[in-house]
Structure 1
Amino acid sequence: MSPLRVRDFRLLLFTSVAVFSGVALLLSVVPLWVVHNNAGEFAAGGSTAAFMASTVAAQFAVPRLVRAWGYRLVTASGAVFLGAPAPLLLIATDWPGILAVSLLRGIGFGFVTVCGAALVAELLPRTALANGSGLYGLAVGLPQLIGLPAGTAAVEHWGFVPVFLVAGVIPLLGLVAIFGLPAVAPTRHDDDLPAKGSLGRPWLVMLSGSIGYGALVTFLPLALTDTVAASAALFASAGAGLASRWVAGRLGTRIAAGRMLPWGLALTVLGMAGLAASIQGESPWSAVAAVAVAGVGFGLIQNDSLVVMFAAAPVGRASVAWNVAFDAGTGVGAVVVGALVAGSSYPVAFGLLALSAAALLPVALSAGRAV
């Protein structure tokens, strides 16, 4: 059965597109806004880290909130928290003000990410889970494909004001579909149920991939001085990740869970190392190709690790773990690269990320066997 035949799943996809569009537009723009207001790269990374830190903190609270309020109200609250504060960036021109807005928006993102991933498993039968996860990846990946480069390009041509306003409105459009979702009882969110396998190994692989992703979306517009190449690199990274996550979902019905993780991590290592070399050699279009390779790797990691976690633990626990790995890693990548760049250079920073990811290849090889 195709997941697209399920009406409630289609509503989830619409909601996800709206919410993630608001995130994607500002993910690379807010660091630019920080630098525009005369703070440095470390502060730029801190804005992404603040957003992701509050995201992760909120994610841990979601299972309890869902049991008390239900998916619809928690998801709707997330859309409001994410969209409503975005226009406040127009008056938040100092670093503390920008961080405060980022913290508020992160709470909303934490709510919608955990609810969205969990609803994939709640709304679909187990046999459609891998394919549904791939389609959900399209819904969250398309906004990145369009929004990441569009946000930086729009700032370049029209300034920050319209970008902040649009990013505030789009997540609120998701409210139309959110209240059409069924009142699903979160019975499968029972955290007292025993895990059926290990979450640790796929969690580490997902964390490593998201650290690289966080570094890319935060610093590509700053590391590549050619603005056209920077927008193309953001597009290539998001597009490659989108396509590979969808392919992984299609293949997941025939390939055992976890078998794509080593390939995904190896491609991530290759892409990050290629990016470091391209920046060192001042070859911006080689950097575009390198981040496309990294994007393919991260797309494979995203889908396969989520399927492994759903097989290893109850839905609520698996969704929280996967989203924490994604968002904590994104924040860590921004902070680590910001700190490394402050003391060294972009090639050194991205090279070290490649080495750290390579060290986890044995973990990726064994992750699928733990299910």
Structure 2
Amino acid sequence: MDITADAPASVAPRPRLLTLPLVLVFLTNFGAMTGFYLLLSVVPLFATSIGVGGVGAGMSTGALMLSTVAAELVTPALVARYGRRPVLTTGLVLLGAPALALPGASGLTAILVVCVVRGVGFAIMVVTVGALVAELVPASRRGEGLGLSGVVATVPAVVALPLGVWLANRVGYTPVFVAGAVTTLAGVVAVLCLPRGEARQEPGRSLGVLAGLRTPALARPSVVFSATAMAAGIVTTFVPAAVGGATGDVAVLALLVQAVAATASRWWAGRYGDRHGAARLLAPAVLVAAVGMLALVLVRNPAAVMVGMVLFGAGFGAAQSASLAAMFDRVRPTGYGAVSAVWNIAYDSGYGLGSIGFGLLAVHTGYPGAFALTALATISVLPLTRGGARAGKRSFESAPSEV
């Protein structure tokens, strides 16, 4: 008797997630993000230490992020013309090398110039890496792959963001600036090892960045995410100063707690999105992030700060994965570069504008009032999440294209 006829059909194995090209991209991203986060909170502190005040500190982060946004608009075109390896290598150099000039900066102008150049390099890196990851992970595991990529990008935040502040307080600013430059430039080695075939953009017409910004299916989740990114920029720029009078290393611990929560949430949200749909997570993510920001009204209470950072980190991490996966699901592969650019524009514009606006606002309201208004601004985007879970890729197959 042939028992094979009654045997259950074999289940096809899940496609492999980690490949050598993807690992090399992750190594590049890890090195660059480590250097980025080492300096992210330290540069505003350095600006304050040389006498430019809270407004100058906010402008340093704002200049970094706004130049990033401008460069993100043109990065896909640069990649299409010159190829991913040379463009990505250039981005890493622009992000890392200017940090070596910060120890000699004696005024706000010099700091802002360095931040602008680094912002251009950061834009090139994040857009190019984001498109590469989307192409290299299997479609059926895209949410998980993007979540893993998010972990690679945010693990440096877990360690390097608070470590940068800790080191600056103990060994000075110059060693932190040098370490940020070295770890970023180390990513060039991984880029040079990328197989050339993995670094070429898919030929043919692709969805352009401006067209992506005009497409509601991409614009709505990007605006929702941008609101949480605005709050994230405020957290990393101003929480160290806001809790400065508290006992112990509250600022360092707060940044660490927020980064850990965001990392864990981003990984979980990616896996959940593959099974149940990423867009349905956007509304809960915004609500949790807003509640976390509201807790910072009690900024002089260390326990309230820690609870707020756990909640905000969880909401922010989920918003990152959910918005990015939902946007990639709505375009063809030729649109991956545009999606990466649009998402990163939302991230960085929110991050930069939040830092500048909060610095100006806190002068008049104080930190507690400014944190409360930030929570209200975050929750105001909830109406844009309606109907997001019902949107699908088929509706956007004919999205406008431009080279």
Corresponding residue number in structure 1 for 2:84:
71
Q: CA deviation at 1:220?
A: 0.9
User: In 2 relative to 1, CA 97–75 (structure 1 residues): closer, same or farther, beyond 3 Å?
Assistant: same
Deviations along 1:27-57, whole A, 9 cap, x unmatched? Answer: 0000000100011111100000000011111
Q: CA deviation at 1:197?
A: 6.6
Deviations along 1:268-292, whole A, 9 cap, x unmatched? Answer: 111011112x12xx20231122011
User: In 2 relative to 1, CA 3–149 (structure 1 residues): closer, same or farther, beyond 3 Å?
Assistant: farther
Q: CA deviation at 1:360?
A: 1.4
Correspondent of 2:152 among 113, 136, 139: 139
Corresponding residue number in structure 2 for 1:289:
307
Q: CA deviation at 1:366?
A: 2.7
TM-score (norm 1): 0.96
Corresponding residue number in structure 1 for 2:269:
248
* Contact 1:8 1:182 survives alignment (8 Å): yes
Deviations along 1:330-359, whole A, 9 cap, x unmatched? Answer: 101101110111122111111111111112
Answering whether residue 205 of structure 2 is matched by residue 186 of structure 1, we say no
d(CA) in 1 for partners of 2:388, 2:264: 23
d(CA) in 2 for partners of 1:39, 1:3: 51
Corresponding residue number in structure 2 for 1:9:
22
Please give the residue correspondences for 1:281-320 in structure 2 after superposition, counting only pairs within 5 Å. 282-313=300-331, 314-320=335-341
Structure 1 residue runs of 5 or longer lacking an equivalent are none
Corresponding residue number in structure 2 for 1:214:
233
Correspondent of 1:203 among 208, 222, 225: 222
* Contact 2:270 2:325 survives alignment (8 Å): no
Amino acid at match of 2:146: S
Q: CA deviation at 1:9?
A: 0.6
C-alpha root-mean-square deviation of aligned residues, in Å? Answer: 1.6
Corresponding residue number in structure 2 for 1:269:
290
* Contact 1:261 1:365 survives alignment (8 Å): no
TM-score (norm 2): 0.88
d(CA) in 1 for partners of 2:105, 2:22: 37
Please give the residue correspondences for 1:1-371 in structure 2 after superposition, counting only pairs within 5 Å. 1=14, 4-183=17-196, 184-187=199-202, 190-191=206-207, 198-225=217-244, 226=246, 228-276=249-297, 278-279=298-299, 282-313=300-331, 314-371=335-392
Q: CA deviation at 1:200?
A: 1.8
Q: Aligned with 1:260: secondary structure?
A: helix
Structure 2 residue runs of 5 or longer lacking an equivalent are 1-13, 393-403
Q: CA deviation at 1:364?
A: 1.9
Amino acid at match of 1:148: L
* Contact 1:17 1:139 survives alignment (8 Å): yes
Q: From the CA coordinates, give the structure whose radius of gyration is larger.
A: 2
User: In 2 relative to 1, CA 11–30 (structure 1 residues): closer, same or farther, beyond 3 Å?
Assistant: same
Amino acid at match of 1:118: A
Residues matched between the structures, number: 368
Q: CA deviation at 1:3?
A: 5.3
d(CA) in 1 for partners of 2:115, 2:388: 34
d(CA) in 1 for partners of 2:238, 2:288: 20
Amino acid at match of 2:75: V
Deviations along 1:308-329, whole A, 9 cap, x unmatched? Answer: 1112232111111100001111
d(CA) in 2 for partners of 1:153, 1:5: 34
d(CA) in 1 for partners of 2:336, 2:168: 39
d(CA) in 2 for partners of 1:311, 1:326: 19
Deviations along 1:172-194, whole A, 9 cap, x unmatched? Answer: 11011111223333127712698
Amino acid at match of 2:390: R
